Structure 1
Amino acid sequence: MAEHVIKVLNNLIETSKNGEKGFAAAAEDAKAPEMQELFRNRSRDCAAGATELQTLVTQLGGEPEDSGTVAGAMHRGWTNIKAAVSSRTDLTLLEECEKGEDVAKADYEKALKETLPDNVRAVIERQYQGVLRNHDQIRDLRNRFRAAT
């Protein structure tokens, strides 16, 4: 059981690390100061979530992940290429971040379908609620930016 739980947690750590790096990159590229701050805050939230999950893995006797996935790196690489050939606007950054949050939502939903100890489930559920809030905030901002253009 512990091995399975560690695997589930490590998958979510990778998801969180992808978010941390993705939001940090978005913060660097954002034009509006409020967008920079939003993305920096989201990056810090993802980092804190990863740290919390890493602690659980260690408590279960496992080796916690400490990086994101190849897919996450590829997504960031694609967005960097996309930025090189088109002008990257705050709207395109919001669209890319929303895609990343869609992946995070799916990863957390998958994890919550697993058999998990109550304490682990509680942490994952709380973090999932944060992912949902982040996703909805990014989506709402994206919709406002679209309406303004």
Structure 2
Amino acid sequence: MTNDEVISVLNGLIETCKDGDEGFRTCALDASDTRLKTFFTNRAQSCAAAALELQSLVRAYGGDPDNSSSLGSAVHRRWIDIKALITGKDDRAVLQECERGESMAVSSYSQALTRNLPESVRTVVERQYQGVLQNHDQVKSLRDQYRS
């Protein structure tokens, strides 16, 4: 795999992390339960830290790290805002949209791991992927709790 290919994969994951950061921050604003607000804020900080780690790797491979989130993320956040208005900031609805966003992150990381990444990069991506899976599972569990 060339350096440019590694940089491209990493920049895609940076975009995913930025999407997660912004998405979780939006969810924190829309949630009414203070425990959820704290959870979402902590997850946003984790996504931001993951993006910084990936940006460092991009620089190590001689590239310019991505600094923005995707258009899809902006659309998704807007959908969260609209759905929250319609449902009166119902925490379950916010969690459902958050879970949808985390499913997209799981997909992005699993796709990246199908690539022939250098071992040092693969190690970071696999570790972060485990965090993404944990986020997804926690959001799903919280959503199920709010279903009751």
Q: What is the rounded CA distance, in whole Å, between the counterparts of 2:37 and 2:84 in structure 1? A: 17
Report deviation, 1:86: 3.0
CA contact (8 A) 2:30 2:81 kept: no
Structure 1 position 46, deviation (Å): 0.3
Query: How do 1:50-65 residues align onto structure 2 when only pairs under 5 Å count?
Result: 50-65=51-66
Q: Which residue does 2:15 correspond to in 1?
A: 14
**Is there any run of 5+ residues in structure 2 with no aligned partner, and where?**
none
Equivalent position of 2:80 in the other structure:
79
Partner of 1:138: 139
For 1:141 and 1:81, the matched residues in 2 are separated by 21
**For residues 36 and 76 of structure 1, what CA distance do their matches in structure 2 show?**
16
Aligned residues: 147
Q: TM-score, normalised by structure 2?
A: 0.97
Q: Distance in 2 between matches of 1:96 and 1:78?
A: 8
CA-CA distance at 1:85 after TM superposition: 3.0
**Distance across 2 between alignment mates of 1:37 and 1:77:** 21
- 2:29 is aligned with 1:28: yes
**Could you say what secondary structure the match of 2:51 adopts?**
helix
Query: Partner of 1:70 in structure 2?
Result: 71
Give the equivalent residue in structure 2 for 1:129: 130
RMSD: 0.8
Note the C-alpha offset of 1:65: 0.3
The alignment partner of 1:63 has SS state of coil
**Distance between the aligned counterparts of 1:34 and 1:86, measured in 2?**
19
What is the deviation of 1:80?
A: 1.7
Question: Aligned equivalents of 2:24 and 2:74: distance in 1?
Answer: 12
CA–CA separation in structure 2 for the residues paired with 1:85 and 1:143: 21
Unaligned segments of structure 1, at least 5 residues: none
Q: Deviations over 1:4-43 (max 9, x none)?
A: 0000000000000000001011111111111010000000
Residue type at the aligned position of 1:120: V
Percentage identity across aligned positions? 48
Residue 84 of structure 2 contacts residue 94 of structure 2 at CA under 8 Å; is this kept in 1?
no
What TM-score, normalized to structure 1? Answer: 0.96
Q: CA deviation at 1:51?
A: 0.3
Give the 4+ runs in structure 1 shifted more than 4 A. none
Supply the distance in 2 between the matched residues of 1:144 and 1:35 (Cα, whole angstroms). 12
Comparing 84-93 with 117-126, greater Cα deviation is found at 84-93
Paired residue type of 1:48: A
